[in-house]
Every structure is written in structure tokens, then in C-alpha cells.
Amino acid sequence: MPTLAPERDGALLMASDLSAGYGAIRVLQQVNLSVRAGQVVALVGPNGAGKSTLLKALSGMIPKTSGTVSFGGQDITRLTTQACGRLGLVHVIEGHRVLPSLTVEENLLLAALDQPASARRARVEEAYRVFPEIAEKRHLGAGSLSGGQQQMLVIAQGIVRQPRLLLLDEPSAGLAPVLIARVLEVVAAFRTKGTAVLLVEQAVEKALHIADRVYVLVHGRIVLATDAQSARAPGVLERAYLGAAQPS
């Protein structure tokens, strides 16, 4: 039976006994999770399991009630989202929308405002290389893009910030299958640049095919932590979702 312990050796991001929620409502219960540099990690689970809440806790969007989070060997438990972003931990929020009245390029330049002025143009051009679909529309209003192109622009806004770790929350939500494949293809390519990705994705089967490691979150608790190949075995995720997975 796969272990519930995270891969701690050489971890870029590590959450230890992390609990968090909203006011008196505790959503996460003693979560242990880690992500290595250049690794794509899928975080899956049923609706309402707390996946988005976990990403928000990791990136400083909501306070932790207990436990710790470290990034690059530094304790970031109490840091704000902006401070985490400056360290290279960038969160692309579910349902994030572009500014429709601005051009594609203006949206990207705005996302790069906290980056060195001398590097902004190069980073925007790098985002265009990743998503040529929006490069050819750089001078058009972002509101004129299709839904899929807007989602590409949202991810590109994360890219221009040169993340060491990108937290992606449902990047393919609402997209056609061909666009889901395109977005996940880009996610898989991040590892070649050494960028790590923690991915919450509703297209679970597709996510498992690009992931190195998988965590299953159910009722705010990690019930399975294993490599992606093991997670693809028949019945493994089903048993985890039903609470059958137990520590070895």
C-alpha cells in the first residue's frame, strides 16, 4: 500500500501538519505534502475536499491555524501572498479572469509589475513563446479572446512572474477537450525549465498522465500519496476516494 508520507528529501515546498480554514470552519486537517523542483504534482479529490483551500493556505491567501509551510528551505508559514510571489511561489487562482478592457500585452505587463523593469519585456516574450495562440493577438483587447485563449492568458500571467513553483487551480475548467490537452501540455513542459507545478485539475485521468506524483485529498485530509504510475492502477483512486486507503 502506498505511503501517506510526503517526499521530504530535497523538497522545494513542504507543508507539515498543516490545518487551515475560514473563521471557525476548519477545512484542512494536518496536511503533509511536498513538491520537488521540476516536479509536477497532481492534487485530486472529490468536490468540496478542500483542494482550493489548500492552495490558498500554501500561498498565504488564508491564514493557517496550525502547522508550517516552507519554501526553498525558508519558513513561509506567516508570509503574505505577495511575499510568497516574490520568492517564486505563484498562485493562479481558479476562476481568475483577465482585464477585458486592456490588451493581451497590457495584461501581461501588469502581471509583471513586481518584476525588474529590465526583465519584463523578455518575460512577456517568453510567455508568448509558450502560448503562440495569444502572441498573435497581443494588441487586441483581452475581452475579445475566446474562453480557451483567456485561460492561456491567465496562465501566461503566472509565467511572466518567473515562478519556481506554480500553483494551478483548475486551469482547464470549462475548456473543450482539445484545449484541456493543450493547457496540460504546457504544464508538463514546465518541468524541462525546472519549474515545479502543484496542479488541481478536474480532468483527473489527463492530469495523472503528466504528473510525477499524486496526492488525494478527502474531507480535508491527505488519504493517499503516491507516484502517478501507481495512482493510475485500476481501483487505486476509487478506494482512496472512499476512504479505503490506509497508512502502510
Tell me: the pLDDT tens digits for 227-244?
999 999 999 999 998 874
* pLDDT band (50, 70, 90) for residue 116: confident
pTM score: 0.89
Side chain identity, residue 21 = G
Tens-digit pLDDT profile for residues 11-47 = 999 999 999 999 888 999 999 999 999 999 999 999 9
Q: How far apart are CA 154 and CA 167, in angstroms?
A: 12
Please give, one letter per residue, the 3-state secondary structure of 101-139.
Answer: CCEHHHHHHHHCCCCCHHHHHHHHHHHHHHCHHHHCCCC
Q: What is the pLDDT of residues 122-155, one digit of tens each?
A: 999 999 999 999 999 999 999 999 988 998 999 9
Query: What is the grid cell recorded at 222?
Result: 491527505
What is residue 5's predicted lDDT score, i.e. its pLDDT? 44
What percent of the chain shows pLDDT beyond 70?
Answer: 94
Domains along the sequence of the chain with CATH: 1-88+163-248 (3.40.50.300), 95-162 (no CATH)
Give dist(CA 124, CA 198) in Å, integer: 22
Of 196, 193, 103, the closest CA to residue 149 belongs to 103
